[in-house]
Amino acid sequence: MRQIIGTCILSILCLACNFSKKEKDMANSVSNNSETQFQNSALERSMMRGEKIYKNFCMSCHGSNGKGMSKAFPPLANSDYLMNQQKASIRAIKYGQSGEITVNGKIYNSVMSPLGLKDKEVADVMNYINNSWGNSNDRLITEEEVSRIEQ
């Protein structure tokens, strides 16, 4: 009888041990989640502001699907220029862009006038186009980064 009680107590102890470990794990994963959620939401909030700016200032030339238009307006969706030349892309949006550039192997030689956006708006629209139409870039572009880009 003693032995049975002993095993019972032991197994209850074990269960309790396991349980508290599980709880700790759960607590850890919850706090990890909320950290990433916080980061995501800064990017997501910026993208939501950027979407409005895109519709007002960019869509007429680059299209609602970001694919560009005819030979004159280069694509932003899947654009190697946008993906690989983030600084130059910010500069283009901030100060305008003219002269020859190559996007996905095609040469464009046209003019994008400066759009008169504030640095924060440039950051927001960058975050939007970086993460739309299949584009993906989880690095948050900040107003501060845009302010450091010179003409």
Binding site for ligand HEC (CB under 6 A): 57-58, 60-62, 72-76, 79, 81-82, 89, 92-93, 97-99, 101, 103, 108-112, 115, 125, 129
**Which CB, 31 or 105, lies closer to ligand HEC?**
105
Nearest to 44 by CA among 140, 144, 134, 145: 140
Nearest to 125 by CA among 94, 96, 150, 149: 94
Between CA 137 and CA 89 the distance in angstroms is 14
Nearest to 86 by CA among 144, 127, 44: 127
- Other Cβ atoms closer than 10 A to 145: 17
CA 70 to chain centre: 28
- Closest distance of CB 40 from ligand HEC, Å: 22
- Closest distance of CB 55 from ligand HEC, Å: 10
- Closest distance of CB 25 from ligand HEC, Å: 43
**Which CB, 21 or 148, lies closer to ligand HEC?**
148
- Closest distance of CB 85 from ligand HEC, Å: 8
**Which CB, 57 or 133, lies closer to ligand HEC?**
57
**Which CB, 10 or 72, lies closer to ligand HEC?**
72
Cα radius of gyration (the chain): 26
